[in-house]
Amino acid sequence: MVNTYTGLLYRDYGLSIDILSRMFLLLLVHMQGFATEIEMLQVLLHLMRSEKKSHIQSLKDRLIYIDIINWLMFLLSGTIALLSTVLIITSTTAFATSTPQQQEQPTTAAAANSTTYTDDTGFTVDLPPGWTAIDQDNTSQEAKETAASQHRETLVEFCPERQSAVMNISTQMVRCDDDFGIIQVSRYVNMDTNPDFARGASSIDPLTGLIVMNLTAEDLVDFHDRGSPEMIIVQSKDVLVNVSSIDNAGAQWKTTGKLILAANQINQLGWIQLLFVDWTSGYEVSYVAPKGRGGAGESISIFGIGLDNLPSELEPIMQIMTSANLQRPPSG
């Protein structure tokens, strides 16, 4: 029966085995979370929008989407074992979907013995015991000119207890001694003039005549969708990030960020990211997961985990992510 429906979708709608396998993966992860056909439709539309292939872009008739949804809902009445068998046979890539959730305030309670760290740009987190910070100089004139030309700069790296800081001889920069298992904090500068973000970055309020910045964390998510095809977003949720400004008499407010869980193309945990925007600056706090080299660097399967259900070894990562806030330094 599954093969019959697979053949119909392949023949009538031009869906490849690759896309069908993504749909099966989608079902396995989310089959307990959808109460209505519309909810499933919303997730499937996100999946299809993430595809750049012409046969997906041509599926503009909503009735076709509904037919596919009905077919998927029909499969829900089958057994997981049957779907798993099809996955083993047909799956060649991972899946891409986003689970919309209610906006949440990140937990700010730090683990015992944690240390509050603030870099020279005002980015602040609570570091778990054993983690060290390698701060880059972002205040010199040379650093500012480099950031302006590249539209991006590295603010700080956080190295876990098992890693140490090393000097890169060619660049004379101090870094963690591995690219994996660390957290790197980057900032996109002047997003309003950056070609990747500038379109629609600002507008004029017709009532006040003031410039309104329309940049959000979603712009950073879309940027990754376009530029990082190997990153497959499994789950995302809105979070609130605290921002304060000394120039505005210590004023405090919250900006909406995105917490992202992403897989690589072989169904392993690839990244955990916090993305948020403050005016024209975009912040990316990115954990790059190890790629299965054994020991402390053992890879983690993406199946069965979520942002609220991560293995215990990732608790320090989430502590850093959820404690992040921004304390704007004085201007000038």
128-167 pLDDT, tens digit each: 999 999 998 888 888 889 899 999 999 999 999 888 888 8
Which whole number is the average pLDDT over 72-100? 41
Q: Give the torsion sign (CA, 38, 39, 45, 51).
A: negative
Nearest to 225 by CA among 36, 71, 46: 46
Which whole number is the average pLDDT over 15-43? 49
Nearest to 5 by CA among 73, 96, 81: 73
CB 316 within 8 A of CB 323: no
Does residue 23 register a pLDDT over 80? no
Does residue 98 register a pLDDT over 50? no
pLDDT at 44: 53
pLDDT at 80: 39
Count CA atoms closer than 13 A to 224's CA, side-chain side.
23
Q: What is the pTM of this model?
A: 0.68
Name 126's bridge partners: 116
CB 217 within 8 A of CB 275: yes
Count CA atoms closer than 13 A to 280's CA, side-chain side.
17
pLDDT at 129: 95
- Give kind and range of the element (H or E) at residue 20: helix 17-30
Name 262's bridge partners: 233, 271
Rg (CA), the chain: 22
CB 319 within 8 A of CB 110: yes
Angle at 97 between CA 91 and CA 100, to 5 degrees: 155
